[in-house]
Amino acid sequence: MKGESAEGGDRGTILTWTERHRGMYERATRHPFILSIRGGTVDISSFKRWLSQDYIFVRKFVPFLASVLLKTSKESNDTSDMEIILGGMAALHDEISWFKKEASKWNISLFDIAPQNANKEYCRFLESLTNSEVSYTVAITALWAIEAIYQESFSLCLEEGSMTPSELLETCQRWGNTGFKEYCLSHKRIANRQLEQASEDELKQAEEAFLRILEYEVGFWNMSDGDA
């Protein structure tokens, strides 16, 4: 048996990794900013800061997703992967329009926003993942991690008992809805399948990318504080 499949068994490598790095995973998915939305105490200027920075990030996410699509067509043995990534592309198109609409609702101009350092670093990392030397396995694991952190975070704000302000519900639904959850599960299945066949070296790279994403996501949420 190769890689971590012996250790992970049928549970999948992703679960093994989220358990292994549980503390960091929770810092990324239960950040004080998200908990403040959930608790209804969020500072609106923090929310606006997050929204503006995320628009910049999402635009940089487009070439990353395109690179995953390219890798899918070259390296995947399962033709259904392409449809999943292509669906993500369509959703991203919609997401960019949503950001523009949401920004105008909050009187934010998206033209003159300077990316903060944490955002710049994260975007640089995204760009490094578009390199053709980065394998499909590493790229799809990264894609899963990036999307799943948002999905888990924002779905917390929709749980029963949460006190999310009504004007932020649409944002939380964007990443917390069940369709997006399914989309993330598709990535997780593909990533686990790929990781099952991966070499030790590739596994190491994928786990490393996962960890770096957790760190970048925490840094990203921290920007909402305004002192990043």
CA distance 6 to 227: 44
CB of 197 to ligand HMH, least distance (A): 27
Q: Does 70 participate in binding ligand HMH (rule CB under 6 A)? A: no
CB atoms within 10 A of CB 219: 17
Copy the structure tokens of residue 199: 């070499």
Q: Does 146 participate in binding ligand HMH (rule CB under 6 A)? A: yes
CB of 153 to ligand HMH, least distance (A): 9
Measured from the CB atom, the residue of 81 and 95 that comes closer to ligand HMH is: 95
CB of 212 to ligand HMH, least distance (A): 13
Q: Does 58 participate in binding ligand HMH (rule CB under 6 A)? A: yes
Total binding residues toward ligand HMH, as defined by CB under 6 A: 8
CB atoms within 10 A of CB 59: 14
Measured from the CB atom, the residue of 5 and 171 that comes closer to ligand HMH is: 171
Per DSSP, 9 falls in state G
Q: Does 54 participate in binding ligand HMH (rule CB under 6 A)? A: yes
Name the closest residue to ligand HMH (Cβ).
150
Copy the structure tokens of residue 154: 């924002």
Q: What angle do CA 164, 57, 67 make, to 5 degrees?
A: 125
CA distance 224 to 1: 44
Q: Which residues lie closer than 8 Å to 132 by C-beta, 6 or more apart?
A: none
CB of 221 to ligand HMH, least distance (A): 8
Q: Does 4 participate in binding ligand HMH (rule CB under 6 A)? A: no
Q: Which stretch binds ligand HMH (CB under 6 A): 28-36, 75-83, 123-131, 146-154?
A: 146-154
CA distance 104 to 115: 19
Q: Does 228 participate in binding ligand HMH (rule CB under 6 A)? A: no
The closest of 86, 62, 197, 64 to 131, measured between CA atoms, is 64
Q: Does 57 participate in binding ligand HMH (rule CB under 6 A)? A: yes
Is residue 217 among the annotated active site residues?
yes
Q: What amino acid occupies position 67?
A: S
Catalytic residue IDs: 217
Binding site for ligand HMH (CB under 6 A): 54, 57-58, 146-147, 150, 217, 220
